[in-house]
Structure formats: C-alpha cells, structure tokens
Structure 1
Amino acid sequence: MNTGRFSFLSRFRSPKALVLMYHRVGIPDTDIWEMTVTPENFEQQLQALKKTGNVIKLQELIDGLKAKKLMNNSIALTFDDGYADNYENAKQLLEMYQLPCTFFISSGLINKDEEFWWDELASIIFKSKVLPVTISITINHTFINMHLKDEVALDERQIAINASWKACTDPPPTLRCELYLKLWEALKPLPYTEQRKELSKIRAWANHTLPRAPKNKCMSAIQLQDLARNELFDIGAHTVTHPSLKCYNYKIQQSELRDNKEFLNRLTGRPINLLTYPYGNYNTETIKATEEAGFDAAFTTEEIPVRHHSQLYSLGRFQVLNLPRPGFERAIHYWQQLK
C-alpha cells in the first residue's frame, strides 16, 4: 500500500473506515438541523478528499467488511433523503472530482409537489409574517398550548435569530423556535398520512398561504434515473415515507423497506443493496426486516467508525457540517481518532 497517498490521514493506522453523511448541497433560507453544505464548501471538502486518494464506493467498503478485509482509513460518501439539489448541485461536483457516492432515496415524494414534512413545518413557523397569538392543538396525544407574545409578527431581528438556530445542539432561542420543536417532536412519530393531516391543521391555524419552496423538492424520476446511469454513483434505500421505523410494527416496517427497494430497483434498473434508517432510528424488528429484505448492510446516524467487528445492520456514519476545507480536515482527524 502506498501510504504516501493518504496525506492528512496517514498517521492513523487502526483498521477503521469512515462513512460520511450528507443531505443537501445548496444555499438554504434556514438550516435548523444543519443538513446543508454550500456548493463552495462542498467543493473544498471534495478537494480535501480527492487529495487523500482513499475514497471508495460504499459497497466496496461493505464487501471488505464482510470479508474481514476492511481498507484502513477508507472513506465512503452518502447522501440521504433524495433532495433535488443532490442532482442539481452535488452530482456535477462529484463528477468533476471523480468521487463515488451512494444516494439513499425516500421514494414517496418522487414526482410529487410536496416538501418533506419538516421543511413544510419550518416554512409555516418561520416564514409566516404574522401568526395567531395562541395555539392550542393536540397531536399524537400531546397537547401543545403556547402564547407567542411579541413574536406574533416577524421582524428582522427575529428572522436572523431563528435562521441561526441549530436545533441539534442549542435550546430554542425564541418562542417560534420553541413552538417548531414542540410540533416537530409531536409529528415525527406519526405515519405519513397523519403527518399530512396535522400539517394541514397547522397551516390553517397559521393562515399560511406561501407556496411550497421549489428548492425543497425531491428528485424527479427522470433525475434519479439519470443519476443512476453514472457508474460513479449507487442508489440505496431510505424507506417510502421516511418514518421513524422503531415507532411501527414489524409488518409496516417490512412494507416500508420492501416497497422502497422494489420501486427503486424498477425505476433505476440498479441493485438496491444498502439501506439507511430515517433519523437513524431502528430496533431489533427493524434489523430483522432489513435482513429479510435482502439488504447487505444498513446505516444509522450514530457517529462511530466502521471496524472489523461492526454489526452489518447498525453501522455508523458522521454528519458533515457546512465547513470549509480546514474545518473539514480537522473533523476528519477527530473522527479517525475515535475508538
């Protein structure tokens, strides 16, 4: 092995690999869950990865893991959900740098004029210029009762604070942020049809009439087929309706995995061998359903490297933040040192 190829990763010799998780490449209005990397930063990250020379296909990583021949310090790239900006922005940069990537697709919104429920909720709460003073609503047996006080009408200061909030790490800085989080937590466990029903109620309460944002759309069938024609890219499963699988019975979990896999296989003509769990949520029944559906491996959102002893149906990944090259390289260094 030519160890000189590995640049800033060369000093780490433990048999481990990293799977990096992206969701979006673009310029968001808000990025509450830190899901978006700008095209400029994404290109800088790809430049750093290209220099290391050790980015491999995710399937190759899995094949090595199964054979107990895991390539040390290898890195695989993944995208979750299937946003259109994966095709419009990420694809061309990955092609430019000839770096392989696996795109995990939730198939339920393909060719639909809908947003993922969390994007629609964000639009209602953070883009409505005026909201009613109070909200009293019961969602999934959770009663939410709030008074928005002086945040009924948006001003520039509130817009800036809301846009800078990072929900994964920071407490809600405003009442609108607090309301969003309460509603998000109540909606997340619900089935797709119930989510849409409750969102309609919330939209009516807010008298929210703004159209759905085109930038939040999922890839079309034509875009996904074009993506799949490139041998640089693989397509993986991410369920039909993006449910929190652990909240559902075994039969529903089976259906979400099987139907998603079969749809993507028919649409792309490519084998669908790998799965990522929405939100990283799973239980023992999920693992059983995953194995039964014939997947080679499945991934969570737990930030742990892949090692020889890693379990095939609960592999970890690292969410990549919107970092320029120096910060990204520091993150890689840190992740490579984890046990």
Structure 2
Amino acid sequence: MAIKQLLKRTSGWLYLNSSVGRNQLHGAGVILMLHRVLGNDRAANLPHRNELCVGPQAFEHLLVWLRKHFDCVPLMELLQPNALRTERPRVALTFDDGWRDNAVNAYPLLQKHQVPASIFLSTDFIGSRQRFWWESVGETLWGSHGEKARMHLIEHLRITGHPLPVLLDDIDVDRRSVALLHYLQGLKSLDPQELERLTNECPPDSLPQALDWHQVRAMEASGLVRFGPHGASHSILTGLDDVRLHEEISRSRGALQNGCNRPLPVYCYPNGDNDERVREQVANHDYPFALGTTTGLYRGAGDPLNLPRFGVSQRTARNPELLSLRIFRGARP
C-alpha cells in the first residue's frame, strides 16, 4: 500500500511540474470542496471523518501547497467570464454546511495565509442548536458520547429497521470506522424527518454544531470570506416535491439576504444531488451558478448550474500530490 501511495504522489507531482500538466491547467479554474476543519489531526484521520474533515495541520499544509502552485482567488473571480487569465491555474476554496469550526479553526488559517474562501450555509442550522444528523448519529455510534448513549441509539435503530452491521463491533479501529462510514452513507436516503428523529435520540452537544450569524457577519466583514446557500434544512433537493423544493430554496435565499451584506449568487446543492427540475427551480430564484460534486476543471463551458468541484479529505490535505493526481484524472476529456 505504501508503494502504491508513493507512486500516486509521484505521479501527482510530475503532473504539476510537467509541460502536460501546465498546458492542461493553463487558464483553468479548480474549485475545491471542504466541510470541516477539526481541532486536531488525529480526530480527522479516522475513515468515517476523513472524507468530511481535515485537521488544522493538514489544512495549513494544503494552503501552503496551493499558494505555491495556484493563484488562490475568490469563487466569483474564478467564475467571471471576462476574468484575467493568468499563467498559473486558479483555485477557489468552498466549504459546505456552515460548521462552527469553519470560524474557530479554518478562518484563522485562511487569514494567516490570505486565502479567500466561500462558505455555503444550511441556513436553518445557523444561529440555532439544530444538529447535523451525520455528526450526531455518527459520533454517538462511535462512542464519543459514552456507551449508554451508544447502546440506546443502537437499540432504537434496530427497532426502526436499521440494524447495525456486525463490523461496527470490530476491535480494529480502522475497520470499525470504515463500517460506520458505509452505514452512515446508507442512511442518507432516509426521509429528513426520520433522520431528525434519529438525531433526537442522540445526546445534545454542549455547543452548537453550526455557525451563528455574528460569526458569519464577522468573517464577511473581513473581505476574505463570502457566503451562499446550501439549502435550508440540508434536505436532498431531488427528493422533494415541487412545493417543498420551492420553499426550501426560497427559505435559504431569504435567510442569506437577511443575514449577509453580499450573499453569493451561487447555490450549492446538498449532497451535490441535482436534476433538470432542481436546476430550473434554482435558476428561477435568480441564481446564475450552482455547485455540484462532479469532478472536473472549470473553463467557463458546461452547465453553470452544475459546476464541478474536487473534494478534499484529510488524506488529500496531508498529501496534496494525491489531489493533483485527482485533478489530472478529472481534467481528462
């Protein structure tokens, strides 16, 4: 495995430092997708956290690497059709959901390295104690809130027809974490109300999981961070009927207009899920751009309501050459 990783990292380094890579990336834009920056790297290393979380050391390592190889620009600068095309490729950072650690852990490092970012808020959570189901359910099952809370949730899941796989009792930490990751991914398709009921079976956190509006306005006032909508309730939009879809987009739009001075004219689909009906509704709410989760370079072509992004995990933040290799693969026609 170590040799395989070394080959991938070497391939990524060669891509960025070769004429092929330079030609392919010339004048192109790369949009990165992050979610959380935790307080320490060890917590972010576990597989069930790795995809959505990075640690502060890994995040700072990524920022230094990005500034070395890219022009780090605001998202809207990258999306403008008449923007100056520089010799170096451009990169824009985006964060999904609106986690509180974006202000506590990510923002100081963005300031330190003067890297702009866009944060897309699930607006119902901002300034409230409403919880993200993935975090509450996942950490309760992991045992972060104690064995009593864990066993209570396991029994509730069994009764409601969502029993845990045997591997979640594996003594190997990594295997158990991978099993939890797959289990949580399988819950994504549940009705939002059922996910809320599962969350309510978890113990409350001592602090809100999400940002509050004071933090949003303080970061916006710095000029380094701008904000856009990521749904209101974080419901997957393709699963909503027309009435609920319209209401979801309208509510998130209204919250941003009330809470920010300059909300972004960019929508960000929860979970990246979108279809023609959803894109039409987003356009009807005066959004010329929207972010998905398909991979690829941005060159001003393609559907502006399904912009590509490259996800950043703890693994790729620690080893950015792996991200470079993903960019190469995503850039191929």
Q: TM-score range by the shorter chain?
A: 0.7 to 0.9
| 1:269 corresponds to which of 238, 245, 261 | 261
Matched, 1:287 2:279: yes
Shift of the 324–295 alpha-carbon distance from structure 1 to 2, 3 Å rule, reads closer
Shift of the 325–292 alpha-carbon distance from structure 1 to 2, 3 Å rule, reads closer
Matched, 1:23 2:35: yes
Matched residue of 1:185: which SS?
helix
The 2-side partners of 1:44 and 1:183 are apart by 29
Q: Residue in 2 aligned with 1:117?
A: 133
Matched, 1:62 2:79: yes
Q: Residue in 1 aligned with 2:59?
A: 42
The 1-side partners of 2:199 and 2:317 are apart by 39
The 2-side partners of 1:278 and 1:320 are apart by 16
Q: Deviations over 1:203-245 (max 9, x none)?
A: 2xxxx6x44263x710111111111112121111101100111
Q: Residue in 1 aligned with 2:8?
A: none
Superposed displacement of residue 105, structure 1: 0.7
Superposed displacement of residue 257, structure 1: 1.6
Q: Residue in 2 aligned with 1:77?
A: 93
Superposed displacement of residue 334, structure 1: 3.9
Matched, 1:13 2:23: yes
Does the CA-based 8 Å contact 2:127-2:213 persist in structure 1? yes
Residue type of the alignment partner of 1:75: V
The 1-side partners of 2:110 and 2:300 are apart by 28
Matched residue of 1:162: which SS?
helix
Does the CA-based 8 Å contact 1:144-1:182 persist in structure 2? no
The 1-side partners of 2:47 and 2:218 are apart by 28
Q: Residue in 1 aligned with 2:223?
A: 231
Does the CA-based 8 Å contact 1:17-1:307 persist in structure 2? yes
Matched, 1:321 2:313: yes
**TM-score under structure 2 length normalisation:** 0.79
Within 5 Å, give how 1:57-206 maps onto structure 2. Answer: 57-64=74-81, 67=82, 73-127=89-143, 128-129=146-147, 131=151, 136-138=158-160, 143-145=161-163, 151=169, 157=171, 161-163=175-177, 165=178, 172=179, 177=180, 181-182=182-183, 185-186=186-187, 188-191=189-192, 193-200=193-200, 203=201
Does the CA-based 8 Å contact 2:292-2:309 persist in structure 1? yes
The 2-side partners of 1:99 and 1:330 are apart by 21
Structure 1 unmatched runs, 5+: 1-6, 166-171
Q: Residue in 2 aligned with 1:259?
A: 251
The 2-side partners of 1:229 and 1:101 are apart by 13
Q: Residue in 2 aligned with 1:4?
A: none
The 2-side partners of 1:70 and 1:236 are apart by 25
**TM-score under structure 1 length normalisation:** 0.78
Matched residue of 2:162: which SS?
strand
Does the CA-based 8 Å contact 1:45-1:325 persist in structure 2? yes
Matched residue of 1:197: which SS?
helix
Q: Deviations over 1:142-181 (max 9, x none)?
A: x435686994xxx9x3556434x2xxxxxx2xxxx3xx75
Residue type of the alignment partner of 2:91: I
Structure 2 unmatched runs, 5+: 1-15
* Cα RMSD for the two superposed structures: 3.0
Q: Deviations over 1:3-25 (max 9, x none)?
A: xxxx8487422353210011011
Shift of the 188–324 alpha-carbon distance from structure 1 to 2, 3 Å rule, reads closer
Q: Which has the higher helix share?
A: 2
| Identical pairs, percent | 22
